[in-house]
Structure 1
Amino acid sequence: MAELIVTTFLSLDGVYQGPGGVEEDPSGGFDQGGWVTPFYEDDMAAYAAEWLGQAGSLLIGRRTYDIFVQYWPKATDQDDPVAVAMNTLPKYVVSRTLPGSDWSGVSVVDGDVVEFVRELKARPGGEIQVHGSGDLLQTLIAHDLVDEYRLWLYPVVLGQGRKLFPEGVAPKSFEHVETRRTSSGANVLVLRPAGKPRHDTFRLVTE
């Protein structure tokens, strides 16, 4: 079975909205877009290339598709492993309004995404990777379909914007797999779901 792997950028206050550009996603009055771009450097590119090399397919939401399709089909450098992966991997775009796409490898998922992902995970192959796609990701999280999280945590507080784990999300705990750090100050936490949180109380230890 294939595993579903999530990669997303987060601020210290848990916001995922508009990381890549000032005008990328101003919905809801968000005016803090482009907060990840100043941190881009070689470590980030190397980690992205390494992990994309493990992908068998990409699963993305419509908003993320609209961002990707403006850039990646024009990135034709065959020595760029990220561009090659983006342009050659099968890409499943979750949308009820996208009529089709000229971008190579794109299939539109316009039905029950939860059932589709369950069927996709049952097939053999490499990782099913979700990049960005916050609204889609929250649906996948709610149905316990995520096998691993690669959370890029950046040293910024935005004070507004959509959060990956909003108020009211079901309580969850995670197993730590790995932590990586980039030279620009981002920490990448690799986590796997580990059921519900455990609770206890600190006790005074006396001799």
Structure 2
Amino acid sequence: MGKIVISTNATLDGVVQDPDGQEGFELGGWFHQFVGGKDLEDWAANETEELLGAEALLLGRRSGEWFESRMRDGAEIRVSREWADRMNSIPKYVVSSTLEHSQWSNTTVLNGAAVKEISELKRTVDGEILVYGSYQLVRTLTEQNLADELRLVVFPVVLGTGLRLFDETSDKKPLHLVDTRKIGDGLVLNTYEFVQG
């Protein structure tokens, strides 16, 4: 049985929008602005270890396209070569109602009934299914009680505005804190389990 793990970066006030500053959000670019070199080195090591331990990636269309464009030959690698190689080789599932196929290696497009296909994916994959970015998909996974764990790397800045990971939910979604640890000198990784039932 697969375990869906949402892994994301957010500001202290929960903003996930435009971390690299390439989306045109006026407060974008916070990922690199408020941390030091040790923070990013330790963050990259954590990301690489996490991806190497996963069995699959689950992405929304826009996040799938974003990662694919950065993994093509000659693209800038922001984490590590080992991470990039794993990104290209790991089985990937992209949820989209408009995309028919992907050029990215080992990618399957889920373009049917998303909840049914993701439920089937959980039954057939044995191990962690990582979700990067994909905030619309994250909300669906949360609403449908398909997410099992949240790994949230908190960056030391408050933006006051911007798209948040859980902007809209239909009801309370309790989580249980499993672990908290420092990454580098300024980042905090909080790991939560979604409380089902």
The bucket for the TM-score relative to the shorter chain is 0.7 to 0.9
Deviation at 1:119, TM superposition (A): 0.5
Which runs of at least 4 in structure 1 moved beyond 6 Å after TM superposition? none
Residue in 1 that maps onto 2:176: 175
Distance 1:169 1:186 in 2: 30
Cα pair 1:75 1:83 within 8 Å, conserved: no
Code of the residue aligned with 1:14 in structure 2: it is G
Query: How much identity, in percent, do the aligned residues show?
Result: 38
* Greater CA drift, 147-156 or 174-183: 174-183
Unaligned runs of 5+ in 2: none
Cα pair 1:41 1:184 within 8 Å, conserved: no
Unaligned runs of 5+ in 1: 197-207
Residue in 1 that maps onto 2:60: 61
Deviation at 1:97, TM superposition (A): 2.0
Deviation at 1:99, TM superposition (A): 3.3
Q: Number of residues paired by the alignment?
A: 190
Cα pair 2:6 2:151 within 8 Å, conserved: yes
TM-score by length of 1: 0.84
**How big is each residue's C-alpha offset from its partner over 1:96-145, in whole Å with a ceiling of 9 and x where there is no partner?**
22232221111111111111111011114221110111111001000111
Distance 1:49 1:119 in 2: 27
Distance 2:170 2:10 in 1: 17
Residue in 2 that maps onto 1:199: none
Distance 1:50 1:75 in 2: 23
Q: Are residue 35 (structure 1) and residue 36 (structure 2) matched?
A: no
Deviation at 1:35, TM superposition (A): 1.0
Cα pair 2:153 2:187 within 8 Å, conserved: yes
Superposition map of 1:89-104 within 5 A:
89-104=90-105
Cα pair 2:63 2:133 within 8 Å, conserved: yes
**How big is each residue's C-alpha offset from its partner over 1:6-54, in whole Å with a ceiling of 9 and x where there is no partner?**
10111111111111x212x34xxx3222211343621101110111111
Residue in 2 that maps onto 1:126: 127
